[in-house]
Chains A and B, each alone.
Chain A
Amino acid sequence: MGIIFSIISGKGGVGKTTTAANLAIGTAMQGKKTVVVDFDIGQRNLDMILGLENRVVYDITHVMDGDVRLRQALIPFKKNENLYFLAASQTKDKTVLNKEKVEKVLSELKKEFEYIFIDAPAGIESGFEHAVYFADAVIVVVNPEVSSIRDSDRAIGIVDAKSKKSQEGKRVAKYLIINRINPDLVQKGEMLSSEDILDILEIDLLGKVPEDQIIIEASNTGHPVILNEKSEAGRAFKRISRRLCGEEVPFVDIESVKHSGLLKSIKKMFQ
């Protein structure tokens, strides 16, 4: 039986889709059968981030409505045979999701896959509730910035109140990813440090991801950063994926500024 991880944030635009794509590729690279599902109905994006936008024929609504079988809607990820993708529908009607239908699809996925990642929509409306209702664990993505952190706390509160596991008196595991850290600003005391954020939100840290320009190039080309050894964010996502696969990976202090780049270039001048 697979584990369902819902990737949530409260505030929009903080990096849920980026995280979903990279972690799914990451666990697949660790040899786990993985599927990543786009629950952001009407705002389909994950297909482009994964470079699969031309491959989408059927989406999750077709499966839920029984138009096609799950197998027909699952899109293989060319770059790793362990990963499949299920697209969101582009309809404007957000009521296409309902509990029974969602449960049916997810329980089918749980039988086939070890890791199921759900890319949740922003906000805390009904689409969000569907994305977290059947979650075994939620991964909360925040930016080191006040609105993102405050909104994430509201979203966490709703998971505690409304998810199926919570209602059955069980605990939904909650993990934090701090994304878009700028080490220079943290050093200057002008950006909340991960320690501060953990103090405020009181949940477990899963990983820290730095601000990384390469992510723009990655979304331009549909080639996520985890596939790029040169990307610092990519390496951060790789460490997080290994943690998700049960490995003890020490936290890297990405918040201290390293001037190795500068040092290297100075050394080169004297070579």
Chain B
Amino acid sequence: MSLFGSFKKKKSAQRAKDRLNVAITLDRDSNLYPYLDELKIEIMQIVQKYSKIKDVRINKEKVDDQDILDIEIVLDEDSKT
């Protein structure tokens, strides 16, 4: 055993593992709700029956350990009349 063994650069497989763990965790977080686009379209269709709307914004949040979908319906100016 070499005295310098422990100072040696990390093997590349270990680096691959570390980097993959980070990348995949991020990927999974950004894909938690694969249905968001469809949801947005359906919400727009429903609300449009009652009021003119400008946009539906959906934000993903995490408060403590609770996942929250924050849905914001932005009404059109003319909709008040």
Q: Does the CB pair A196–B13 fall under 8 Å? A: yes
Chain A CB within 8 A of B16 CB: yes
Q: What DSSP secondary structure best describes chain A's contact surface?
A: helix
Chain B CB within 8 A of A7 CB: no
Chain A CB within 8 A of B35 CB: yes
Interface residues of A, count at CB 8 A: 21
Q: Cβ of B11: which chain A residues have Cβ within 8 Å of it?
A: 188-190
Residues 97-153 (chain A) with a chain B CB within 8 angstroms:
145-146, 149-150, 153
Q: Does the CB pair A157–B13 fall under 8 Å? A: no
A161–B28 Cα distance when bound, in Å, is 12
Q: Cβ of B16: which chain A residues have Cβ within 8 Å of it?
A: 145-146, 192, 196
Q: Does the CB pair B34–A196 fall under 8 Å? A: no
Q: Cβ of B12: which chain A residues have Cβ within 8 Å of it?
A: 189-190
Indicate the member of B14, B17, B31, B35 with the most A CB atoms within 10 Å: B17
Q: Cβ of A188: which chain B residues have Cβ within 8 Å of it?
A: 11
Q: Does the CB pair A199–B17 fall under 8 Å? A: yes
A158–B28 Cα distance when bound, in Å, is 11
Chain A CB within 8 A of B21 CB: yes
A200–B35 Cα distance when bound, in Å, is 25
B74 to chain A, nearest CB (A): 27
Q: Does the CB pair A153–B28 fall under 8 Å? A: yes
Q: Does the CB pair B13–A161 fall under 8 Å? A: no
Chain B CB within 8 A of A3 CB: no
A121–B23 Cα distance when bound, in Å, is 24
Given A189-B12, A190-B12: A146 touches B19 (CB 8 Å cut-off): yes
Chain A CB within 8 A of B24 CB: yes
- Of the candidates B13, B19, B27, the one whose C-beta lies within 8 Å of that of A186 is B13
Chain A CB within 8 A of B39 CB: no
Q: Does the CB pair A150–B13 fall under 8 Å? A: no
Q: Does the CB pair A161–B27 fall under 8 Å? A: no
Given A153-B24, A153-B27, A154-B31: A190 touches B17 (CB 8 Å cut-off): no
Chain B CB within 8 A of A193 CB: yes
Residues 1-42 (chain B) with a chain A CB within 8 angstroms:
11-14, 16-17, 19-21, 23-24, 27-28, 31, 34-35
B18 to chain A, nearest CB (A): 10
Given A189-B11, A190-B11, A190-B12: A150 touches B23 (CB 8 Å cut-off): yes
Q: Cβ of A161: which chain B residues have Cβ within 8 Å of it?
A: 34-35
Q: Which residues on A are within 8 Å of B, measured CB to CB?
A: 145-146, 149-150, 153-154, 157-158, 161-162, 186, 188-193, 196, 199-201
Beyond known contacts A192-B16, A196-B17: 7 more, CB 8 A cutoff = A146-B20, A157-B31, A158-B34, A189-B14, A190-B12, A196-B16, A200-B17
26 interchain pairs, CB-CB under 8 A: A146-B19, A146-B20, A149-B24, A150-B20, A150-B27, A153-B27, A153-B28, A154-B27, A154-B31, A157-B28, A157-B31, A157-B34, A161-B34, A161-B35, A188-B11, A190-B11, A190-B13, A191-B13, A192-B16, A192-B17, A193-B13, A196-B13, A196-B16, A196-B17, A200-B17, A201-B24
